[in-house]
């Protein structure tokens, strides 16, 4: 008996659907769905580009940290920075940027930074500390081409900053 009632209800619903000829979706509903999909794809693309840029910067930071470590070792031994470049680094210092995917060329500029230190008694002193600026350049033909990452290190202060341009 319950099966007959169930079957009867299904047939009633089907006959109602045949009477009402409005099937499918309206143009407005379709446009709303398309716009929502476009917004979702745009948000995903922007997030993806940001993640890729951060991956490029991370590769450059690893290279710059390696260079700074080598330069600090040289400074500790000779009391001056050497200013290595990508042309001499592999043979003289063991910094090999050729295996990097996005940053294969770099240069080091030696400079000095004035540090202002405040003592516990409130007195201030200035110290002219040696510093280096490392520039890592995006490899030609790579996705990071045209991008430059700068790392600035002040000796003895552990002040290390990164900035980038391009991309």
Going residue by residue through the chain (167 aa), what tens digit of pLDDT does each one get? 555 666 677 767 666 656 655 667 888 889 999 999 999 999 998 888 888 888 888 888 888 888 888 888 888 888 877 777 766 655 566 777 777 888 888 888 887 776 666 666 666 666 677 888 888 888 888 888 888 888 888 877 766 777 878 76
pTM of the model: 0.62
SS3 content of the chain, % helix, strand, coil (to 5): 45, 30, 30
Q: Using CA atoms, how far apart are residues 159 and 14, in angstroms rounded to an integer? A: 75
Structure-block tokens of residue 117: 């230190």
């Amino acid at each position: 008996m319950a099966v007959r009632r169930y079957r009867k209800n299904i047939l009633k619903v089907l006959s109602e659907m045949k009477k009402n000829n409005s099937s499918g979706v309206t143009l407005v509903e379709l446009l709303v769905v398309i716009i929502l999909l476009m917004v979702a794809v745009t948000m995903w693309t922007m997030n993806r580009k940001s993640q890729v840029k951060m991956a490029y910067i991370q590769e450059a930071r690893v290279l710059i940290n390696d260079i700074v470590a080598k330069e600090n070792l040289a400074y500790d031994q000779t009391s001056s920075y050497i200013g290595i470049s990508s042309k001499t680094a592999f043979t003289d210092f063991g910094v090999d940027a050729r295996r990097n995917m996005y940053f294969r060329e770099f240069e080091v500029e030696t400079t000095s930074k004035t540090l202002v230190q405040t003592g516990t008694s409130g007195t201030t002193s200035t110290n002219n500390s040696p510093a280096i600026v490392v520039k890592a350049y995006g490899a030609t033909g790579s996705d990071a081409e045209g991008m430059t990452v700068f790392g600035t290190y002040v000796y003895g202060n552990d002040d290390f900053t990164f900035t980038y341009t391009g991309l």
